[in-house]
Structure 1
Amino acid sequence: MEIIDRFLAAVVSPDPGDLADCYAEHVVIEMPFAVPGLVPARVETTREELRARFRAGTAVRRYTELSGVRVHECADPATVVLEYDVHGLMHATGERFVLRFVMVMTLRDGLIAHTRDYADPIAGARALGRLPELANALAGG
């Protein structure tokens, strides 16, 4: 599936625009494991807002490779389940990290229109140096 191949290549591209270009003009991103107060559980956004968000992310970290990639096609051809581990490097510390993702994507006109992103919030907070913020959010602070 072309968009999935483009998406996977774009995750590790040094140009954040490559990843944003995989998304529809208007997109919904849901994160069922998001921690309230730290990350929103649902975002309705645009491709250009995603482009800015991805660009800001590359100032802090760089995704360098993918492993464990599995693509599961569904009975509905507009739905794809994607599993992968993304390996990265934090610019400030040089620390390496691995984050595991499962994404349920809904495609429209060959682009990603909706995702449900399942990721480990502890691993994400650890990689980004945000464990104290995670603990505070979990404690209701």
Structure 2
Amino acid sequence: MPTNTSKDTAPADLYRHGLRLLLDKDITGWVDLWDDEGVFEFPFAPAGWPKRLEGKAAVGDYMRGYPDHIDLHDFPSVEIHRTTAAETIVVEMRGVGRLVETGGPFDMTYIAVVTFRNGLITHYRDYWNPLAVQDPASDFTRKS
């Protein structure tokens, strides 16, 4: 799937394409999947960590250094569930790789609720556990 996605592409296909971009470390391509006014939320973020990013520019700023902190190798498990709202999906997945700073393992289970409109992400609630990243030297997720 090209970086420019069609507004007619199914949300599940757009999401899978986004995962491929993350594995390819194409953060710019991943951010291009976002609507200019898209909202990225982290409901389980602890104090001092961002709970909400508003707008594509804020998402881009947050994700810019991702590959410098987390080297994703695979998403060995991805289950995408449709909802009664055609543009919203619920994703259960697991990402594995390594923490760049320490070389330690990265193994994270996620649940995401993602809404697309006109082929772009408009709302993404990311239910992941930032405390599971046992790399105190890394400040990636603490950026606000």
What band does the TM-score fall into relative to the shorter chain?
A: 0.7 to 0.9
Deviation string 1:70-89 (CA, Å, 9 cap, x unpaired) is 00011110111011111121
Q: How many residues in Structure 1 have an aligned counterpart in Structure 2?
A: 127
1:105, 1:68 → 2: CA distance?
17
1:92, 1:40 → 2: CA distance?
21
Name 2:6's counterpart in structure 1.
none
Deviation string 1:45-67 (CA, Å, 9 cap, x unpaired) is 22x44233322121222111102
Name 2:100's counterpart in structure 1.
91
TM-score, scaled to structure 2: 0.78
Name 1:64's counterpart in structure 2.
73
Residue identity over aligned pairs, in percent, reads 27
Unaligned runs of 5+ in 2: 1-9, 139-144
Give, as a single letter, the amino acid of the residue that structure 2 aligns with 1:15.
D
Unaligned runs of 5+ in 1: 132-141
CA contact (8 A) 2:44 2:127 kept: yes
Q: 2:128 aligns with which of 106, 119, 127?
A: 119
1:6, 1:56 → 2: CA distance?
20
Give, as a single letter, the amino acid of the residue that structure 1 aligns with 2:38.
V
**SS in structure 2 of the partner of residue 77 of structure 1:** coil
CA contact (8 A) 1:71 1:82 kept: yes
TM-score, scaled to structure 1: 0.80
Higher helix share: 1
74-83 or 59-68, larger mean C-alpha shift: 59-68
Name 1:7's counterpart in structure 2.
18
Where relative contact order (Cα < 8 A, 6+ residues apart) is larger, the structure is 2
